[in-house]
Structure 1
Amino acid sequence: MEMFGDNTFTVLGFSCNQFGLQSPEANHETLNVLKYVRPGGGFVPKFPVFGKVEVNGLNEDPLFAYLKESLPFVNPVIGDIKKLYWSPIKVSDIPWNFEKFLITADGLPFRRYDLHSPIKKVEEDILQML
């Protein structure tokens, strides 16, 4: 947001507890968790943070079902099954925290980035779209 927020661009944040149960907090606690725990250090997001959603499985949020259908995961290897809390598991699932989806101004899914995608690539793609 600091880099591109002056343009017609925004980040939307969604919390999910399906990955190792790392986000057990209630929705009203999320901003305090970000500020004081992870990442901590007084972090206050400069973008909207929505209530917790399920991004995989039978109760997946329709937005994430649409994004995953539009941009299937290129590496069908799912992480440590013991730390995944949904069923059924599909190759298009979001395998771990911090996956990103870039959406065009028209609302069309453009690109999907996994946890290990270089942030420089994300930035380059955003610049291309702007």
Structure 2
Amino acid sequence: LNALMEMFGDLNFTVLGFSCNQFGLQSPEVNHETLNVLKYVRPGGGFVPKFPVFGKVEVNGLNEEPLFTFLKVYLTFVSAESLPFVNAVIGDIKKFYWSPIKVNDIRWNFEKFLISADVGGEIHRRTSVEAAPQADISGRVTIPQ
């Protein structure tokens, strides 16, 4: 994500990071520990995010943040292209810590949503953990005049 900030950070673009412990319980730290976990543990090596990192949220289930409810519903019904990676296999439910499990749920940490920074914040795409969003971003960032 820092690489995305280095590529596009001067072009009306930013990454917003949200910590979540719903995927394999991989983020058990409390909010004030998150930056130190990133710096010293995972990924470690002195890593410092070049983007805002928010407090821990739930992105799926009964207690999910309304922002993620909206994003998931919007991108599920806009077009099949906005959610190209979703297939019938949801994953190993033993690693999911929420209920109910829905087909449009976020599947793992580091899924990405591309939203314009313009007024109105048009929602463009949702990409999987594995996807590299550089092409989508470069086609949509606003280059300052």
Q: TM-score range by the shorter chain?
A: over 0.9
CA–CA distance in structure 2, aligned partners of residues 128 and 8 of structure 1: 13
Question: Partner residue of 1:21?
Answer: 25
Superposed CA deviations along residues 40-70 of structure 1, whole A, max 9, x for unmatched, are 0100000000000000000000110011011
* TM-score normalised by structure 2 residue count: 0.84
SS at 1:33's partner residue? helix
The counterpart of 1:8, out of the listed 12, 17, 20, is 12
SS at 2:125's partner residue? strand
Question: Partner residue of 1:62?
Answer: 66
Unaligned runs of 5+ in 1: none
Q: In structure 1, what residue type is equivalent to 2:36?
A: N
Unaligned runs of 5+ in 2: 77-82
- Describe how 1:1-130 pairs up with structure 2 within 5 A: 1-72=5-76, 73=83, 74-106=86-118, 107-117=121-131, 119=132, 122-130=133-141
The answer as to whether partners of 1:79 and 1:96 remain within 8 angstroms in 2 is no
SS at 1:71's partner residue? helix
User: Post-superposition, which runs of at least 4 consecutive aligned residues in structure 1 deviate over 6 A?
Assistant: none
Deviation at 1:79, TM superposition (A): 1.1
Higher normalized contact order (CA 8 Å, seq sep 6+, divided by chain length): 2
* TM-score normalised by structure 1 residue count: 0.94
Provide the identity percentage.
Answer: 76
Larger radius of gyration: 2
- Figure out how many residues of one structure are paired with residues of the other and give that number: 127
Deviates more, 1:82-91 or 1:103-112: 103-112
